[in-house]
Structure 1
Amino acid sequence: MSRLPPPRDLEAPIPVLVRELVEHLGGAPFVAVCTDLLGGADRGEHLLVLPYLTGHTFADGDATRDPDTWPDLWVRAWGARGLLHVWDDLASDAVVAGLGDVDWRPAEMCLKVAARHEVGGAGDGAARLATHELPRVRTHAMRALGAVGDTEHVEVVRERLDDEHADVRRAAARALERLAMRLDLEPIP
């Protein structure tokens, strides 16, 4: 990708920037770039697309080019965030793998993607994140399990009904309702 014009308006919302990038690349190449980034690609290989995914310039001397200032976890999170807006099932394996990311931000973004696009195979990764130290990650784990969990995940969700954080408890209650409907289970107390 040696030629790509800069975004028309770098301050536009990310979904607008993503649509513009998809106009330039096409859907499948866009998804391939996002899965590459989510998988840990070197940001230097994607300097032309990163402004569309982030709203930052990535110009020479820009802090976003410096891994010490913007650690690589951000590159992985940006890749996952792109998949929120444009999806192809070919990205499923990358998202499922991203649920095991050592950093919470890419993993949390993968939970969001899994919930929005009902990513098959994401249930076990979401279940592992159900006890994460951050309430926001646990909340997204509940949402993902509501969307993609299976019967073996019901108990994991039920345990979060007693979570110390109200957002997690609410998300767990909604997830149990959704699991019961999706899996044709008796109402889950």
Structure 2
Amino acid sequence: MPDPPPEHRPERRPVAGSIRELAGRIGVPAFVAVCVDLLDGAPRERYVEELRMLTGHGWRPGDPVLDHDAWKDHWVRSWGARGLLHVWSDAATAAVVRGLEDEHYRPAEMCLKVATRHDVAGAGDGAARLAGHALPRVRVQALRCLAVCGDREHVGAVRAGLDDDRADVRRQAARAWEALERRLDLGGGRVGP
């Protein structure tokens, strides 16, 4: 199928740039409040203008992004978290930690990314739980987060990742172990069971 003509193509922009532009236009506190509200489950209709910039889509009336069946609500929560990935304030800490408990993996995984990038206080417990997630990509991101946010009580989750059946998870667990070992002065070598 050929590409539609330019006048019929949806507007696409680099998301990180449009997110920063939105934060600059409305101010970081207002931006963070929008992202937190979306992450907490606010209806997409409340923030159509903001979501245009958070998603990089030029939403128009009838756009399927506004269709709850085409784009499930977990996407809206994920977009709220993604905004915080690029523009951070500690005022979003509690929402990101709550987001690690999301019923859908996408918002939880995005909250892991936010927690990793911004060293979000209190994210270790949620990351440790997600280190046992059914999806390997979530386990990998949880281990990345534990490398940054984990503490001594999360060592077991990282150690379990060292024996994961997936090589990518084992590699990330090894990196996380090395980071925890340095940060927490755990002493050399792999800790036994």
Normalised-by-shorter TM-score class: over 0.9
Instruction: Note the C-alpha offset of 1:169.
Output: 0.7
**Partner of 1:6 in structure 2?**
none
Question: Residue type of the partner of 1:127?
Answer: A
| Residues in 2 aligned to 1:11 and 1:83: alpha-carbon distance in whole angstroms | 20
**Residue pair 2:13, 2:57 contacting (<8 A) in 1 also:** no
Secondary structure in 2 aligned to 1:132?
coil
Instruction: Note the C-alpha offset of 1:188.
Output: 4.1
| Residues in 1 aligned to 2:82 and 2:151: alpha-carbon distance in whole angstroms | 25
Instruction: List runs of 5+ in structure 2 lacking aligned partners.
Output: 1-9
**Residue pair 1:115, 1:147 contacting (<8 A) in 2 also:** yes
| Residues in 2 aligned to 1:180 and 1:25: alpha-carbon distance in whole angstroms | 42
| Residues in 2 aligned to 1:33 and 1:183: alpha-carbon distance in whole angstroms | 35
Taking only aligned residues, the RMSD between alpha carbons, in angstroms, comes to: 1.2
Q: Deviations over 1:106-165 (max 9, x none)?
A: 000001011110111011101111111110000000001111011011111011111111
**Residue pair 1:10, 1:52 contacting (<8 A) in 2 also:** no
Q: Which has the larger radius of gyration?
A: 2
Query: Quick check: 84-93 or 178-187, which moved more?
Result: 178-187
Whether 1:70 aligns to 2:87 is: no
Between Structure 1 and Structure 2, how many residues are aligned? 181
So what's the TM-score if we normalise by structure 1?
A: 0.93
Whether 1:89 aligns to 2:90 is: yes
Whether 1:21 aligns to 2:22 is: yes
**Partner of 1:4 in structure 2?**
none
| Residues in 2 aligned to 1:188 and 1:102: alpha-carbon distance in whole angstroms | 36
Instruction: Note the C-alpha offset of 1:60.
Output: 1.1
Instruction: Note the C-alpha offset of 1:166.
Output: 1.3
Query: Quick check: 58-67 or 138-147, which moved more?
Result: 58-67
**Residue pair 1:177, 1:187 contacting (<8 A) in 2 also:** no
| Residues in 2 aligned to 1:183 and 1:10: alpha-carbon distance in whole angstroms | 47
Query: Hey, which bits of structure 1, 4+ residues long, moved more than 4 A?
Result: none
Secondary structure in 1 aligned to 2:49?
coil
| Residues in 2 aligned to 1:147 and 1:160: alpha-carbon distance in whole angstroms | 16
**Residue pair 2:161, 2:173 contacting (<8 A) in 1 also:** yes
So what's the TM-score if we normalise by structure 2?
A: 0.91
Question: Residue type of the partner of 2:32?
Answer: V
**Partner of 2:80 in structure 1?**
79
**Partner of 1:3 in structure 2?**
none
**Residue pair 1:176, 1:188 contacting (<8 A) in 2 also:** no
**Residue pair 2:12, 2:58 contacting (<8 A) in 1 also:** no
**Partner of 1:30 in structure 2?**
31
Question: Residue type of the partner of 1:22?
Answer: A
| Residues in 2 aligned to 1:101 and 1:124: alpha-carbon distance in whole angstroms | 14
**Partner of 2:174 in structure 1?**
173
Secondary structure in 1 aligned to 2:54?
helix
**Residue pair 1:114, 1:144 contacting (<8 A) in 2 also:** yes
**Residue pair 1:10, 1:51 contacting (<8 A) in 2 also:** no
Q: Deviations over 1:77-105 (max 9, x none)?
A: 00000111000111010000000000000
